[in-house]
Amino acid sequence: MQINDTLIDDTFAEAFPMKATRLVITAHTPRWARAAADSLTGFATSVIDCGCEAGIEHEIPADATPDGRPGISVLIFAVSSKELAKQIVRRVGQCVLTCPTTAVYNGIDPATTRAPLSDAAPLGGSLRFFGDGWQISKVLNGVRYWRVPVMDGEFVCEETVQTVKSVGGGNLLLLARDLDSALAAAEAAVAAMHRLSNVITPFPGGVVRSGSKIGSKYKSAVASTNDAFCPTLVGLSHRSELDAQTGCVLEIVIDGLTDADVGAAMTAGIDAASAAGSDVVRISAGNYGGKLGPYHFRLRELAAGIVQRETGDTSGNTSGGATNAGKDGAP
């Protein structure tokens, strides 16, 4: 399949179950809400070494936050409820509690979320001990809040936050003629994804240059460079999937609260990247043969939805979500 002058590979992105939560950070000014959110989501690109994957979802106007102050929504993803709970307390304790004027609230409404509910994770229930006995609690509409005295006044946070079952590891590989074209396409794709709710792109600027494969020639390494998509290894690696016209490959990784959210973000990314110019030669995706992750996002099905929208042809059968692999893991 081809969109504009870009070939869409007949492949799929393979994604995995994760646990996630949304935190709403507010502050006296947007600057300080952003400072706390930037700090909290730092060093959170991959669960392989960071413990979680996190990113800013969007800004929230003051009239839509729990305390009527400017806010920012962040999403945090981890491989288990235990790890997610650990990351929430550590990151809020070190990056939000410490930041002037901030407060933090649960951002997942159990009554309206489409994502399957998981456990409630402690927040203020753990951080309250920083108050050294001076902390106090207040229950409003059935929700317990903790007020911890700090040097600029009080740090306010909810006792717990709701977590949900989620999806991590959706991805796109953008193959372009040169670095400038790849960067332009990746930036356009990330910008399109960030206009959607319920998703993040956790790597720097939303983009990954060091795509990886499982395993290595070195026993101590669990992952290594994806030589199949390294332009400098064309003609050297027997796994190479590139030709001479591809000078740069960049990857975008997407985490979302549901598979439909990830599929919608990937669709928006394909649309934006393919419209970025004829120098985007191909759009592909990374997978593990369908054996590790149950969510399979088939690029041509996502691209078909774009074509249908542009042509007005709705006779095809496409879905924004993932195909769920069978027990044998076949794609």
| Structure confidence at residue 214 as a pLDDT band (50, 70, 90) | confident
The pLDDT mean for the chain works out to 93
Q: What is the mean pLDDT of residues 233-242?
A: 92
pLDDT given for residue 301 in this prediction: 96
| Structure confidence at residue 314 as a pLDDT band (50, 70, 90) | low
Q: Report pLDDT digits (tens) over 93-104.
A: 999 999 999 999
Q: What is the mean pLDDT of residues 27-56?
A: 97
Q: What is the pTM of this model?
A: 0.93
| Structure confidence at residue 13 as a pLDDT band (50, 70, 90) | very high
- Using the predicted structure, report yes or no on whether residue 318 has a pLDDT greater than 60: no
pLDDT given for residue 315 in this prediction: 53
CA 15/CA 286 separation, integer angstroms: 9
Q: What is the mean pLDDT of residues 78-88?
A: 98
pLDDT given for residue 253 in this prediction: 98
Domain 2-14+167-324 indexed as CATH 3.40.720.10:
no
Q: What is the mean pLDDT of residues 169-187?
A: 97
CA nearest neighbour of 86 among 154, 155, 163: 163
> What is residue 257's three-state secondary structure?
coil
97 DSSP assignment: T
Q: At the top level of CATH, which class does the domain 17-164 belong to?
A: alpha beta
pLDDT given for residue 1 in this prediction: 87
| Structure confidence at residue 326 as a pLDDT band (50, 70, 90) | very low
CA nearest neighbour of 111 among 141, 85, 87, 90: 141
- Using the predicted structure, report yes or no on whether residue 325 has a pLDDT greater than 70: no
- The residue ranges of every structural domain in the chain are 2-14+167-324, 17-164
Fold match flag (2-14+167-324 vs 17-164): yes
Is residue 209 exposed (0-12), middle (13-18) or buried (19+ Cβ within 10 Å)? middle
Q: Report pLDDT digits (tens) over 43-53.
A: 999 998 999 99
CA 37/CA 54 separation, integer angstroms: 10
| Structure confidence at residue 324 as a pLDDT band (50, 70, 90) | low
